[in-house]
Amino acid sequence: MKSAGMVRRIDNLGRVVIPKEIRYTLHIHNGDPLEIYTDSQGGVIFKKYSPVGELSTFAQQYGEVLSKYVNLPMLVCDRDRIISAAGISRKEYLERRITPKLDELMQFHKSFVSTGRSQFIPVEGIDRSAAIVYPIVASGDVVGAVILLQNENGTAPDQTEITMVQVAATFLGKQMEE
């Protein structure tokens, strides 16, 4: 376990404040769910909970079918990382952080559709633009996004591709509500 060099006291209600620097680094926002664990040395571990992560196997299968149909790579992310990749090297994309631009898009419940000229990089460290980004909404909260990556010649997506990504995001959101 890595020490952050910060000490916080527990108040009389059993609460502790997670320092702003740590919340910023881990992309923890007000109202985000956290999992709490203990380790064998008596430590307490807080981990950001990813409800979309619970669907990663299902999202992977759904993504593979959609990717084959539209012949474009597809990603599914939670609010922090890529949890599913189809039509491209999974090893290269899985567990990579999303960009601040994608985080902001999800924070404001927005979608993105490329015009063919616009660039939207969704994954940190990979210079591949998104054609479509559609948020996954469960119980009124954005919990992730479905991302269809741009094709090699950079053409704008057609209406069928846009609709399929919207359906995928809506379906995954409904699955999380059940």
pLDDT digits 0-9 by tens, 128-176: 999 999 999 988 888 899 999 998 777 889 999 999 999 999 999 988 8
The reply to whether the predicted model has a pTM over 0.85 is no
Q: What is the mean pLDDT of residues 108-112?
A: 95
Domains and CATH numbers, the chain: 1-49 (2.10.260.10), 52-177 (3.30.450.40)
Which sign, positive or negative, has the C-alpha torsion 101, 103, 106, 107? negative
Which sign, positive or negative, has the C-alpha torsion 56, 154, 100, 112? negative
- With 0-12 / 13-18 / 19 or more C-beta atoms within 10 angstroms meaning exposed / middle / buried, residue 21 is exposed
Q: Please tell me the number of Cα atoms within 13 Å of 143 on its side-chain side.
A: 26
